[in-house]
Amino acid sequence: MRNAPRAGAASTRRKLVWSAGALLLGLALAEILTRCRHTEMPAMPRVEGELVARSSDPDLRFENLALAEHCMIYPQVGGAADKRVVAHVNEHGWRGRPVSLAHPAGVIRIATLGDSQTFGLGVADHEPWPAVLEQKLVDAGARVEVLNCAVVGYDSEQVCALLEKRVLAWSPDIVIYGFFSNDSLLPGAKPPPGVLPDPNEDDDTRSGPLGWLRDRSSFVDLIFTSAHRGAMRARWADVQTSLFSEEYEGWQRMRTALRQARERAEAHGARLVVALIPRFLPARSELVSSGAHRQMIAFCRSASIPYLDLEPCFIDLDLDDLRVHPLDLHLGVQAHAIAAEALSRWLLDQHLVEAH
């Protein structure tokens, strides 16, 4: 009986040794898998050609350069040739094919406005959601023409100014504003602190002992990188939401501009609607842009502006597959197609467009 405690202690030591061995083996396997699955990141995209030019109108500030040809160059990995995506602007400053100012008889003319997400930066002329929307509606039997009047870098006040000063002259029947969650960042309106943080900034675990360990272990580096980016994206989501708080001047001015835009459109016989385009970055259990969408939806309801929130269309999809490039967060071809399909169904269901 005197040997029982020793036997028990030996058994405990063996269990600890086996547990430690299993842990080390698991870490080693995790390290191997992390290194094996690590994919080489491509170089940063490049640009050829000018797309916008200074505007003589102070409210617009800049606008699409007529007859511009702009190329986005996306480096690939593994020795593959760079992907080149060309965008063309017609003589009127709209993206895509030449169009006539005269309103075609019996055709519903839809004008789309917004920033680079509506312009379709990074995809070819026939791939932005306005171009795909036209094709979807035509395929459904509707007689429509969709103009892509978006300008890369526009905020909400510029969008509303372009509508009033240029787009309404085209006699659209429907105006679709492609809302994005940074549209309330207006000149002269002081943004809340921390707007648009870099997901890779302020990572103090890259120095000291932890930095040494991260340099030598892909698995450890992956854990800390994921945790840091998760925290940064959560902060980014809070900041994006704060851009639509009652205290922020930019949001106050944006709402005023949109109310005026609705009135101007209706005075010209057009209907203003809003399509809410998500930002494909996860934060907590939703997207970085989700809070901004909730604020915008509440406003649209109060202002009697029809809207469609496109975020639910992308639930459970791989966000990496929806972006145009690993280092470019703009909507990719698949995302534009999904948005266009949802919008076409919504326009038909709302009887804003009729199929024949």
Percent of all residues in the chain with a pLDDT value above 70, rounded to a whole number: 76
Q: Which residues of 105-140 are buried (b: 16+ CB within 10 A; e: fewer)?
A: eeebbbbbbbbbbbbbbbbebebbbbbbbbebbeeb
Residue 349: φ, ψ to 5°: -65, -35
Q: What's the structural domain count of the chain? A: 1
Arithmetic mean of pLDDT, 267-296: 93
Residue 122: which domain range? 46-191+243-349
pLDDT-derived band at 212 (thresholds 50, 70, 90) equals: low
Mean pLDDT of all residues belonging to the chain? 84
pLDDT at position 126 is 97
pLDDT at position 288 is 87
Q: Is residue 113 part of a domain?
A: yes
Question: Which range (188-192, 193-197, 296-300) has the least confidence?
Answer: 193-197
Q: Is residue 27 part of a domain?
A: no
Q: Is residue 229 part of a domain?
A: no
Torsion of CA 46, 51, 53, 57, to 10 degrees: -130
Q: Is residue 264 part of a domain?
A: yes
pLDDT-derived band at 10 (thresholds 50, 70, 90) equals: low
Q: What is the pTM of this model?
A: 0.82
What is the rounded end-to-end Cα distance, in angstroms, of the chain?
A: 94
Pairing of strands 144-148, 323-325: unpaired
Q: Which residues pair with 53 in a beta bridge?
A: 63
User: Which of 42-51, 294-303, 320-329 ranks highest by mean pLDDT?
Assistant: 294-303
CATH number of the structural domain spanning residue 97: 3.40.50.1110
* Angle between helices 208-216 and 218-242 in degrees, nearest 10: 120
Q: Is residue 69 part of a domain?
A: yes
Q: Is residue 127 part of a domain?
A: yes
Q: Is residue 144 part of a domain?
A: yes
What the block records as the tokens of 337 is 């197609």
Q: Is residue 16 part of a domain?
A: no
